[in-house]
């Protein structure tokens, strides 16, 4: 974990306390154990978990710098990334984790319990349904997703959840810049505007990575998001 704390500080100016390190160690241990039974993630060794899950989650900090989200929704969180590591960093943040796969949602609930995290909701649902629910629509100041779908599809999942003036953050691989360009029209339709592309370097990871940041500049028209499954079949 020493390397993780060093890299987090050096790359993203994130200072991890002893208590946060203990939480991450517990998280890692539980993930490795559950993974043997449930196949939650393809990443199966400690070193890769630290770089490709924890450090990668911390890279989101580059998007909000000194003003972290008050309310964050993480869509398609899988085994809790990036939401739970960010919650460990920012204990006061209100976090909603959305995951449609039962065993992954169950693991997230388990980790939230084991780590004693407060103000975390784990919802097993599709993003499209939440985007039309009055409890969630335009209620968050940041929405984040990692490797969930192409940006023109992802925009329809995330932008409706964010209030006007809020931001959407997509963690992307090398296709990030091209996707951002081809999704500009779709984003506009949903009330979003491409704000910035931030390159991310993770030690020992050769692929280029990007944070795509979209600002919500106008309310999302009521008909979006469309019914579950439609955005993926007929991207905007």
| Residue range(s) defining the domain that contains residue 147 | 2-233
pLDDT tens readout for residues 16-46: 999 999 999 999 999 999 998 888 888 888 8
Determine the pLDDT at residue 51: 93
Mean pLDDT, the chain, rounded, equals 95
Per the confidence metrics, is the pTM higher than 0.85? yes
- The burial class, CB within 10 Å (0-12 / 13-18 / 19+), for 156 is buried
Backbone angle region of 171, left / alpha / beta, with phi > 0 → left and psi within -120 to 50 → alpha: beta
Domain count, the chain: 1
CATH number for the domain harbouring residue 161: 3.40.50.150
pLDDT tens readout for residues 71-118: 999 999 999 999 999 999 999 999 999 999 999 999 999 999 999 999
* Bridge partners, 200 (sequence order): 209
Whether residue 148 is predicted with pLDDT greater than 90 in this model: the reply is no
Determine the pLDDT at residue 158: 98
């Amino acid at each position: 974990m020493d390397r993780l704390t060093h890299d987090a500080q050096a790359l993203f100016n994130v200072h991890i306390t002893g208590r946060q390190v203990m939480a991450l160690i517990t998280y890692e241990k539980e993930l490795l154990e559950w993974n043997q039974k449930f196949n939650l993630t393809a990443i199966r060794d400690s070193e890769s978990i630290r770089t490709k899950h924890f450090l990668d989650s911390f890279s989101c900090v580059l998007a909000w710098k000194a003003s972290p989200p008050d309310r964050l929704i993480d869509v398609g969180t899988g085994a809790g990334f990036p939401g739970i590591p960010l919650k460990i960093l920012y204990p006061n943040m209100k976090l909603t984790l959305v995951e449609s796969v039962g065993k992954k949602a169950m693991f997230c609930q388990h980790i939230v319990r084991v780590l004693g995290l407060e103000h975390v909701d784990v919802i097993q649902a599709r993003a499209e349904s939440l985007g039309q629910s009055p409890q969630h629509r335009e209620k968050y100041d940041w929405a984040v997703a990692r490797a969930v779908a192409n940006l023109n599809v992802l925009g329809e999942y995330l932008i409706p959840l964010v209030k006007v003036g809020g931001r959407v953050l997509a963690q992307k691989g090398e296709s990030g810049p091209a996707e951002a360009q081809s999704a500009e029209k779709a984003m506009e339709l949903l009330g979003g505007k491409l704000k910035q592309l931030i390159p991310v370097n993770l030690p020992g990871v050769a692929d280029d990575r990007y944070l795509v940041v979209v600002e919500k500049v106008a309310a999302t028209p009521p008909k979006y998001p469309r019914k579950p499954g439609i955005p993926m079949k007929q991207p905007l």
